[in-house]
A and B are shown apart, each in its own frame.
Chain A
Amino acid sequence: MTGELILVLLVCLPFAGSLAATVLLRTDSRVLAARLAGGVAFAGLLLTAMLYPAVRDGGRVRFDLEWLPQLGLNVTLRMDGFAWLFAMLITGIGCLVVLYARYYMSEEDPVPRFFSFLMAFMGSMLGIVLSGNVILLSVFWELTSIFSFLLISYWHNNAAARDGARMALTITGIGGFCLLAGLLVLGYIVGSYDLDAVLAAGDVIKAHPLYLTALVLILIGALTKSAQVPFHFWLPNAMAAPTPVSAYLHSATMVKAGVFLLVRLWPALSGTYEWFVLVGIAGTCTLLLGAYFAMFQQDLKGLLAYSTISHLGLITTLLSLGSPVAAVAAIFHMMNHATFKASLFMAAGIIDHETGTRDMRRLSGLFRYLPITGTLAMVASAAMAGVPLLNGFISKEMFFAEAVETHADSMLDRMLPYIATLAGAFSVAYSLRFIHQVFFGPPPTDLPKPKPHEPPHWMRFPIEFLVLACLVVGIIPSLSIGPFLHSAVLSVLGERTPEYSLAVWHGVNTPLIMSMIALIGGAALYFVLKDYLARCDDGPPLFRHLAGQRIFERVLVTVSWKWARWLESRLGTRNLQPQLRLVAAAGLLVGVVPLYIAGFSPKAPVLGEVDPIFAVIWCVGAFCAVGAAYQAKYHRLAALVLLGGAGITTCITFVWLSAPDLAITQLVVEIVTTVLLLLGLRWLPKRSEKVDNSVTLAARSRRLRDFVLALSCGFGMFLFSYAIMKQPVPDAIASYFLEKAYTEGGGRNVVNVILVDFRGFDTMGEIAVLAIVALTVFALLRRFRPAADSIEKPEQQRIQNAYDDARPERSAGDTVRDYLLVPSVIMQWMFPVVITFSIYLFLRGHDLPGGGFAGGVTMAIAFLLQYLAGGVRWAEDRIRILPLRWMGFGLLTAAATGMGAWLLGYPFLTTHSQYIELPFIGKVPAASALLFDLGVFSLVVGATVLILIALAHQSVRSHRVRNPEAPKAEEA
């Protein structure tokens, strides 16, 4: 099996397993899921092991697959010694954790979900260590955040788990985004996202002006992931996760991703003063604070979590120093920490499992119940404390050795030895406490589960294995981990690989003394604090009350909720008027600004050319417009009449200025619109000036503003139209139409020819609009409910009916009929006349003013008249019209006419025209355009009638009670 194939399998296998677990397994198949996960992890371990020969002494395996080549994002997998070591760690500890979890998880839990997440996480983690493209790396980076979220919140009915998970995701998510940005900048500097290219370009990067930007962004990513101060607080909260998760993600693997990245990019980024300061401060603070906090935890897992933070701080500090030996120590300590910390978490899990609590104040003297687990825990925590003959000791010695060296000479550097020793003492103290308080002392009194006992052997096996590893590495380092570590170091440092010796005994030197001081001091510290610790509340004395996560939560809520809502209400609106105001203002702005820039100044008009009659007409028109604006609130009918006046003025203007077609159309539309509005008036609420004339100052100012806006819009429009009218249109296409209208369009009425031929497609869309609107109106009115106060019949009608009721010989409605007798008769007689007229308008359209639309509306008016004359019932008894059919027919006819041209091999809507003789009417253009116009006609009739009827019908069904449901308030 080739190396490339192995790499691909290594990454894909876990995801495949995860998918299988989700899809195939039933929620109760616990053992099967565990076996699957274990198998996957073990297979991964074997595959990784198989690659060792290839990566030994500096070799590397590489797999390339194009994904987004033009942007330099490819699926590049790349394994070298360092990645190999990590892959071994991930898969190896993976196996142990799965084995442990198989016993740890309880009957109720939906285990397949757990294992599928776990496997997916394993895959993402392997992806991080194996990706040879920095963008791909950030892809897997985010994936680990997502799966850690899902794993922490595995018991999602527990609020702590939910919050912990969300916090972890938010913090690491922020980090991930910053990391991506940083890596992009890195790519910008280097000119490639390929890891090898990036590593090769170290000097270019450090010299580049954007180095600091990239560095800071990447560091935010790494430090958040590795829970470094000040981003550390998510880790303790993540302890709400099931213990296997804590052991795997939050001690062995995921939290290592941050430091992994620092090591990975160490050759490219490290060695500068910025690096030393930023990384160093973060590292030392974390090292010290973590250890200090750890001493005062009462929760077993809390203690371990803070100790993890502190150890990660140690690694970071080592990396900050920028010396090769320090890097070696860092890599070495990653491995050691993973082994002993994972085993400790599992031990804590067993204790929790057996006793039902993790609170050290309640635990004591468990050694008599759990002798083996106890022993193992002791060895592991000894390693954590850095006791000789254990792996923790060796890497810590190397750390001390580095601490005393001077690197970038500075305050921080000079303080380092003391900080290191102090932190060492702390770690001794909390390790001691972990053992002493849990396993020694009097037998426990108030355990939730009395009578704890040793767990099944296979549950303990992972711990045994790891502890054994601690011992082996601790006693014969150079024989056990030596070669593997070397190949890892080689792959990171290349030719800068230093001389270093993994030995237990280097003779009596400063580091040894420091260790001794740390051991003794730590022990002393613990026995001084013992009694206090046995009683005190959770958390260190000084910092107990500034809990990171509470601050975080509060900030998050304030920023992402309170402020956001406030801003939303300030920057946005849910009311209509401001929006229209903005639209008007924007239109005014962009319309007038160019005029202003160009310094436009209209030429004063010569009074001679103003036709007095026209001017008078327009005085009336203007009066109507303003009057309508003034009356619309209180006197709707008056406003409607005035609106009509304005419409008539428009109409006359069209006539005057040689646009007969427009005039006709405008007129018929005017009529229909007015009727519609009249029909609508009845449903609007009564409003009289007496009721609401309480005009506040605010209202006045609002009106003033609107008035100014309206005035300026009017003025702007005036200027604009004056300017444009004075500007003769460049004759680009107009004359073409005039020339071809008859010769090619076959019609004398150029406008109509344009409508049905040159630009027939517009007309097609326009009738579609009409149809759509009619349908919408119909659909809406089907659900129409009159407001409560407009249900009863109008006042006048009531009076008349009352009068009728008073007379025995009259029945209700007679008076109305009497009043309307004459008009209704006339209207009924007019029916045929109007119909004929409409058909006439339609037919002559192609040559003279008229056409399908005008004709259609006219016919609709004819029907409308019948409604007005006889009332809805009467009309519908006599004329049965199916508007929908008319509309459908119209649309289809128009479309079919257009498609007819296809048969002759011409594009849509190509026309064909000739004249035919019709009796009585005379010569009629029988252009195929006429057929098209017939479609228009039919649709217009249908749509208009549908709208009118739908509206007219409401008066018939107005008695229907409006359902009491109050208008819903907008949701908060």
Chain B
Amino acid sequence: MEFVLSLGIGIMTGSGVWLILRPRTYQVIIGLSLLSYAVNLFIFGVGGVKSNAAPLLEEGVPISSMTDPVPHALVLTAIVIGFATTALFLVVLLAARGLTGTDHVDGREQPK
């Protein structure tokens, strides 16, 4: 479990980092989204990974069997904030594209 998950996180991170280093704003935003997935999974993974141990209190289910709920809460907050910032970045890159006429991250085409 952990191995697969962390491998997945690694791959997502790699792709994300590669993308945010690209010159096109669209690539950067896709990269940022990938990275935020990776980071959310990371936070989530910190709490340890268990199946069928949702922190939903019911009669007869021992607390000890449940996963650590704190990382879940953190991830929820992180997701929301990530969503907000992605939306913002999208609009900013559209505005930049509109005002500068290019979708290069520096607002002007670099001399090759």
Q: Is the CB of B106 within 8 A of A576?
A: yes
Which of A646, A763, A943 has the most chain B CB atoms inside 10 A of its CB?
A646
Which residues of B39-70 are within 8 A (CB) of A?
Answer: 40-42, 44-58, 63-64, 66-70
On whether A769 and B84 interact (CB within 8 A), knowing A665-B76, A750-B55, the answer reads yes
| A777 sits at the interface (CB 8 A) | yes
Contacts of B54 in A (CB 8 A): 658-660, 849
Name the contact of A610 in the complex, choosing from B1, B10, B105, B110 (C-beta under 8 A).
B1
The distance in angstroms between the C-alpha atoms of A654 and B51, with both chains bound, is: 10
Chain B positions 68 through 95: 1 when the CB is less than 8 Å from some CB of chain A, otherwise 0: 1110110111011111111110111111
Q: In angstroms, how far is the closest chain B Cβ from the Cβ of A665?
A: 5
Contacts of B23 in A (CB 8 A): 577
| A541 sits at the interface (CB 8 A) | no
On whether A751 and B13 interact (CB within 8 A), knowing A724-B45, A729-B48, A967-B101, the answer reads no
| A10 sits at the interface (CB 8 A) | no
Name the contact of B73 in the complex, choosing from A581, A721, A755 (C-beta under 8 A).
A755
How many residues does chain A have at the interface if contact means C-beta atoms less than 8 Å apart? 122
Contacts of B94 in A (CB 8 A): 680, 683-684, 784
Name the contact of A647 in the complex, choosing from B7, B37, B68 (C-beta under 8 A).
B37
Chain A positions 44 through 65: 1 when the CB is less than 8 Å from some CB of chain B, otherwise 0: 0000000000000000000000
Contacts of B80 in A (CB 8 A): 665, 669, 766-767, 769-770, 853
| A601 sits at the interface (CB 8 A) | no
Contacts of A749 in B (CB 8 A): 55-57
Q: Is the CB of A717 within 8 A of B2?
A: no
Contacts of B72 in A (CB 8 A): 659, 661-662, 751, 754
Contacts of A706 in B (CB 8 A): 18, 21-22
Name the contact of A656 in the complex, choosing from B16, B51, B86, B87 (C-beta under 8 A).
B51
Q: Is the CB of B87 within 8 A of A777?
A: yes
Which of A653, A685, A759 has the most chain B CB atoms inside 10 A of its CB?
A653
On whether A947 and B13 interact (CB within 8 A), knowing A574-B106, A577-B21, A614-B1, the answer reads no
Contacts of B106 in A (CB 8 A): 574-576
Q: Is the CB of B46 within 8 A of A709?
A: no
| A848 sits at the interface (CB 8 A) | yes
Q: Is the CB of B14 within 8 A of A738?
A: no
Q: In angstroms, how far is the closest chain B Cβ from the Cβ of A632?
A: 4
| A802 sits at the interface (CB 8 A) | no
Q: Is the CB of A632 within 8 A of B57?
A: no
Q: Is the CB of A751 within 8 A of B77?
A: no
Contacts of B22 in A (CB 8 A): 577, 632-633, 706
Contacts of B37 in A (CB 8 A): 646-647, 650
Name A's interface SS.
helix
Q: Is the CB of A621 within 8 A of B8?
A: yes
Contacts of B55 in A (CB 8 A): 658, 738, 741, 749-751
Q: Is the CB of B79 within 8 A of A735?
A: no
Q: In angstroms, how far is the closest chain B Cβ from the Cβ of A189?
A: 54
| A611 sits at the interface (CB 8 A) | yes
Contacts of A759 in B (CB 8 A): 73
Contacts of A785 in B (CB 8 A): 98-99
Q: Is the CB of B10 within 8 A of A717?
A: yes
The distance in angstroms between the C-alpha atoms of A625 and B24, with both chains bound, is: 18
Which partner residue on chain B sits nearest A948 by CB separation? Answer: B87
Which partner residue on chain A sits nearest B72 by CB separation? Answer: A751
Q: Is the CB of A717 within 8 A of B13?
A: yes
The distance in angstroms between the C-alpha atoms of A759 and B78, with both chains bound, is: 13
Name the contact of B49 in the complex, choosing from A666, A725, A969 (C-beta under 8 A).
A725
Name the contact of A662 in the complex, choosing from B30, B34, B75, B84 (C-beta under 8 A).
B75
Contacts of A774 in B (CB 8 A): 84
Name the contact of A733 in the complex, choosing from B70, B82, B88 (C-beta under 8 A).
B70
Q: Is the CB of B105 within 8 A of A696?
A: no
Which partner residue on chain B sits nearest A745 by CB separation? Answer: B57
The distance in angstroms between the C-alpha atoms of A622 and B94, with both chains bound, is: 28
On whether A787 and B101 interact (CB within 8 A), knowing A618-B4, A706-B18, A770-B84, the answer reads yes
Q: Is the CB of B97 within 8 A of A683?
A: yes
Contacts of B34 in A (CB 8 A): 625, 628-629, 643, 646
Q: Is the CB of B18 within 8 A of A754?
A: no
Which residues of A654-682 are within 8 A (CB) of B?
Answer: 654, 656-662, 665-666, 669, 672-673, 676-677, 680
Q: Is the CB of A714 within 8 A of B14?
A: yes
Which residues of A269-322 are within 8 A (CB) of B?
Answer: none
The distance in angstroms between the C-alpha atoms of A301 and B3, with both chains bound, is: 86
Which partner residue on chain B sits nearest A657 by CB separation? Answer: B49
Which partner residue on chain B sits nearest A969 by CB separation? Answer: B108
Contacts of B90 in A (CB 8 A): 676-677, 680
Which residues of A677-703 are within 8 A (CB) of B?
Answer: 677, 680, 683-685, 687, 694, 696, 698-699
| A17 sits at the interface (CB 8 A) | no
Q: Is the CB of B99 within 8 A of A718?
A: no
Contacts of A614 in B (CB 8 A): 1, 4
Contacts of A698 in B (CB 8 A): 112
Chain A positions 710 through 750: 1 when the CB is less than 8 Å from some CB of chain B, otherwise 0: 11011101111110111011010111011101100000111
Q: Is the CB of B5 within 8 A of A618?
A: yes
Contacts of A773 in B (CB 8 A): 84-85, 87-88
Contacts of B11 in A (CB 8 A): 621-622, 625-626, 714, 718
On whether A721 and B6 interact (CB within 8 A), knowing A669-B83, A742-B57, the answer reads yes
Q: Is the CB of A661 within 8 A of B66?
A: no
Contacts of A610 in B (CB 8 A): 1, 3-4
The distance in angstroms between the C-alpha atoms of A770 and B87, with both chains bound, is: 10
Contacts of A633 in B (CB 8 A): 22, 24, 26-27
Contacts of A659 in B (CB 8 A): 44, 54, 67, 72, 75
Q: Is the CB of A684 within 8 A of B1?
A: no
Contacts of A665 in B (CB 8 A): 76, 79-80
Contacts of A742 in B (CB 8 A): 57
Which residues of A531-587 are within 8 A (CB) of B?
Answer: 574-577, 580-581, 584
Q: In angstroms, how far is the closest chain B Cβ from the Cβ of A761?
A: 11
Q: In angstroms, how far is the closest chain A Cβ from the Cβ of B82?
A: 8
Q: Is the CB of A777 within 8 A of B91?
A: yes
Contacts of A769 in B (CB 8 A): 80-81, 84-85
Contacts of B6 in A (CB 8 A): 717-719, 721-722, 725
Q: Is the CB of B66 within 8 A of A738?
A: yes
Which partner residue on chain B sits nearest A749 by CB separation? Answer: B56
The distance in angstroms between the C-alpha atoms of A881 and B93, with both chains bound, is: 27
7 closest residue pairs by CB, A with B: A714-B14, A718-B10, A710-B18, A629-B15, A605-B3, A722-B6, A750-B55
8 contacts between A and B (CB under 8 A): A661-B72, A717-B6, A717-B13, A737-B69, A738-B57, A739-B63, A750-B66, A783-B95
Known: A575-B106, A714-B13, A777-B91. 8 other contacts (CB 8 A): A614-B1, A662-B75, A721-B5, A725-B48, A735-B64, A738-B66, A787-B97, A966-B101
State the B residues within 8 Å of A (CB): 1-24, 26-27, 29-31, 33-34, 37-38, 40-42, 44-58, 63-64, 66-70, 72-73, 75-77, 79-88, 90-95, 97-103, 105-108, 110, 112
